[in-house]
A and B are shown apart, each in its own frame.
Chain A
Amino acid sequence: MIDLIAAEWLKLRTTRLLVGMIPAAVAISVAAVAGTILGHDNGEPLESSEGVRRALSVTGTGAILVLVLGILISAGEYRHGTAADTFLTTPRRHRVLIAKLAIGAGVGLAAGAVISVACLGIAGVVYDVEGATFPFDDVDVWLTLAGTLTYTTLFGMLGVGFGSLVRNQVLAVAGSLAWFAVVEHTLVNLAPAIGRWLPAAAGQAIVRTPLDGLLSPPAATVLLAGYGAAIALAGIRVAATRDA
């Protein structure tokens, strides 16, 4: 298994995916944090717990690109016709998927760490610009960033699972973006009671977004991990049973 994970890592870093996607994920998170701080509601002090959570919870914005990266890791094999070659090397295909899930999780975690550091930096600078002091010693800061790591890790795995389930790269990327940008928002508005059980809302809860009605961060982590596991299992089943 270690060899397979090493091979998947080699695959990923011998394309341009990482250098394209990770900086983009960092950039949109940093922009979101800076924008949120600059556009903050004057009724809520920046240094308050609420203010910090509001500013840092959007560090999770980049997770959507980590999800896309995960999709490209798995569905990209079908897009470029390399799946057959991969399965010639490893005919027990579930092993390939497990290795890819490990890479999705690892890359997600690493992306989350880079995003967190970059966002902390930008938050410090923009707080300064706004005439406030960023409370680095506030426990909410670290809990929120721990949430960001969880969020990007799970989204990396979710992307790998979803990509292997759908197999069509364009459809999987467009479908997932449509889900998070449109479908889930609509469902949340139509039926708020079920909205909090959906994956994006779970993600928001994990990064401790100060919104009413969200699950607790641990419950949301379990829920999102459950979605990830269900989709990954379905993806493994598709990969293992369908002709490549």
Chain B
Amino acid sequence: MIDVRALTKTYGDRLAVSELSFTAPAGKVTGFLGPNGAGKTTTFRCLLGLAEPTRGATLIDGLPYRELASPRRHVGAVLESTGFHPARTGRNHLRVIARASRIDAARIDPLLELAGLTAAADRRVGGYSLGMRQRLGLAAALLGDPAVIVLDEPANGLDPEGVTWVRRLLRIWADEGRTVVVSSHLLAEVAQVVDRVVIIRGGRLVAEIDIADLTPSRVTVRVDRTDLMLSALSAAGADHELLADGAISIAGQDTAEIGGLAAQAGVTVTELSRVSAGATLEAMFLAVTAGPGR
């Protein structure tokens, strides 16, 4: 579990993160979303002990990162800023981390395989593509079999196949009970896999939502005889409302049920559509992230 409490970080006069609080529970994929420059990376850097919070606290299972007994075994992180020595091979990069963290070097080969880097393992990282570096970073993050996984824009540099691969891993890790936090400036990259989203903008929290709590799917219907349809919906006990443009919005029903009701009422359906929770989330993300950043 990750707990960010009233985190504030300033760089000189610039306020990067302001009074930010949110939690990321275990067993869920938490999407940490916001436009570029919203303060996502700064928040991660504070969380991971790389930057000192100006005020507030960031806790991982109740402890600041720097107080974790064995950080690499507890937290696996991939940050955008993390570099690799260009002359070191991918395998040796992992060996260094394993050695310093007392992690069994036997974990290295399976992780190289998972990351699709077996063939490139003994090549210098300087010759790796951006996608290969991302994969190596992920392998490094997983080296300690961590309970908490923090990924900063993991889709950057990955091809579509790689993005799908990461999404699948995120789901697997969360289902194994790990705390998974993944940042992105694009909702679409993570929308399919997140259980929860934290949206920030200009360093401030905009929304913290469990996807399960989002308005359940609504069905929108247009018919030739709105009055008859409204009566039929009332008679069926459906939660509905008449929208200003003449369409009817119905909660908690699927399109087949509404189509059936319309047929029974003898009205002609001219439009029938469903708005998913995902679309609701997307509309919300666009609303809070559109326009000037600060």
**Taking beta carbons and an 8 Å cutoff, which residues of A are in contact with B?**
3-4, 6-7, 10-11, 14-16, 76, 80-82, 84-92, 241, 243-244
Contacts and interface: CB of A to CB of B under 8 A. Distances in A.
A243 B97 contact: no
A81 B83 CA distance: 4
B88 A15 contact: yes
15 contacts: A3-B100, A3-B102, A6-B99, A7-B99, A10-B99, A14-B87, A80-B83, A85-B84, A85-B97, A88-B49, A88-B72, A89-B100, A90-B71, A90-B100, A243-B50
- Size category of the binding interface on chain B: 20 to 34
Given A80-B83, A81-B82, A88 B100 contact: no
Interface in B16-30: none
B50 A244 contact: yes
B77 interface: yes
B96 A84 contact: no
A16 B87 CA distance: 7
A84 B82 contact: yes
A80 B84 CA distance: 6
B264 interface: no
B135 to A, nearest CB: 15
Contacts of A90: 71, 100
List the 9 closest pairs (A to B, CB-CB), nearest first. Answer: A81-B83, A7-B100, A14-B92, A243-B51, A7-B99, A91-B66, A91-B49, A15-B87, A244-B50
Interface in B80-95: 81-89, 92, 95
B65 interface: yes
Interface string B230-270: 00000000000000000000000000000000000000000
Given A84-B81, A88-B50, A243-B52, A3 B99 contact: yes
A89 B97 contact: yes
A82 B50 contact: no
Nearest to B101: A89
B1 interface: no
Query: Which among B50, B51, B68, B86 has the highest number of chain A CB atoms within 10 Å?
Result: B50
A13 B151 CA distance: 29
Nearest to A90: B100
Given A80-B85, A88-B71, 10 more contacts: A11-B85, A14-B88, A76-B85, A82-B83, A84-B79, A84-B82, A85-B83, A91-B49, A241-B52, A243-B45
A234 to B, nearest CB: 18
Contact of B77 (A11, A76, A88): A88
A10 B101 contact: no
Nearest to A96: B100
Interface of B: 45, 48-52, 65-66, 68, 71-72, 75, 77, 79, 81-89, 92, 95-97, 99-102, 140
Among A16, A84, A92, the one with the most B-chain Cβ atoms within 10 Å of its Cβ is A84
Given A7-B96, A15-B87, A87-B49, A92 B77 contact: no
A14 B82 contact: no
A16 B96 CA distance: 15
Nearest to B68: A91
A90 to B, nearest CB: 6
A243 to B, nearest CB: 4
B96 A14 contact: yes
Pick from B83, B92, B101 the residue with the most CB of A within 10 Å: B83
Contacts of A4: 100
A244 B77 CA distance: 15
Contacts of B79: 84
Contacts of A88: 48-50, 71-72, 75, 77, 82
Contacts of B48: 88
A11 B95 CA distance: 9
A84 B50 contact: yes
A92 to B, nearest CB: 7
B81 to A, nearest CB: 6
A151 B75 CA distance: 42
A191 B82 CA distance: 47
Nearest to B144: A89
A14 B83 CA distance: 15
Contacts of B95: 10, 14
Contacts of A80: 83-86
Nearest to B137: A85
Contact of A81 (B71, B81, B99, B102): B81
A76 B86 CA distance: 11
Nearest to B100: A7
Contacts of A7: 96-97, 99-100
Contacts of B84: 80-82, 85
A87 B50 contact: yes
